[in-house]
Amino acid sequence: MKTLALAAAAALAAFTSEAVASTGACEREIQSAAAKYGIPEGILYSVGLTETGRKGSLYPYAMNVEGKAIFPPSEQDAMRQFDVARNSGAKLIDIGCMQINHYYHGENFGSAEEMFDPHRNVEYAAKFLRNLHERHETWTMAVARYHAGPNNNPAQKQYVCRVIANLVATGYGKWTPNASNFCQN
């Protein structure tokens, strides 16, 4: 695990340039939450893009039901599909801009509908990522833990590399030798 932390720490640390995110609902909330919680905007945006990125922007009504990505056309349709998934026994349902998992985090919201609200979704994700950073001391490990639990190193590495790729693709950073080596091995 120390290898993951050390090898990738330098990779994420380099990605702090001030590229401008698009102005969609999720993106506006990311700009605000990043500033409020002291998270590099590029990291928060790239986590969101990794979670719900579609055609270069984040999508507030995105869902992932038991591993299947769904992009309902409206909040009303998203709620309908959420209800269908829950009623059919789905347990793992990720919701909204930052794909907050309903099973693990739903108790922190008044309703599933609140989880689709871009402000509440991104605000919660930013607080969660900030707490992970405080616990694990690097943005690399915070990002790794955002997506996968502590006993899933392969999923963490794959996720961190996808976030780095999005940092590069959006102009927030560039591939460094450490990041390239980490993600190729």
* pLDDT per 10-residue tile (average), the chain, 185 residues: 47 37 74 95 90 82 93 94 96 94 95 96 96 88 79 78 85 81 79
Report pLDDT for 2. Answer: 52
Q: Does 127 lie in the same domain as 110? A: no
Q: Which pairs count as long-range contacts for 29-38, CB under 8 Å and 24+ apart, including other chains?
A: 29/97, 29/118, 29/119, 29/121, 29/122, 29/123, 30/58, 30/97, 30/122, 30/126, 32/122, 33/122, 33/123, 33/125, 33/126, 34/126, 36/126, 37/126, 37/127, 37/129, 37/130, 38/130
Q: Which domain holds residue 82?
A: 63-116
Is there a single domain that holds both residue 179 and residue 128?
A: yes
Single residue among 94, 116, 138 that ends a domain in this structure: 116
40 and 128 part of one domain = yes
Into how many domains does the chain fold? 2
Work out the mean pLDDT of the chain and round it to a whole number: 83
Res 87: pLDDT: 95
Domain shared by 98 and 173, yes or no: no
Instruction: Tell me, yes or no, whether 175 and 124 share the same domain.
Output: yes
The whole-model pTM stands at: 0.81
Same domain, 70 and 52: no
pLDDT tens-place string over residues 111-151: 999 999 999 999 999 999 999 999 988 888 888 888 776 77
Does one domain contain both 112 and 71?
Answer: yes
- Is the same domain home to 35 and 121? yes
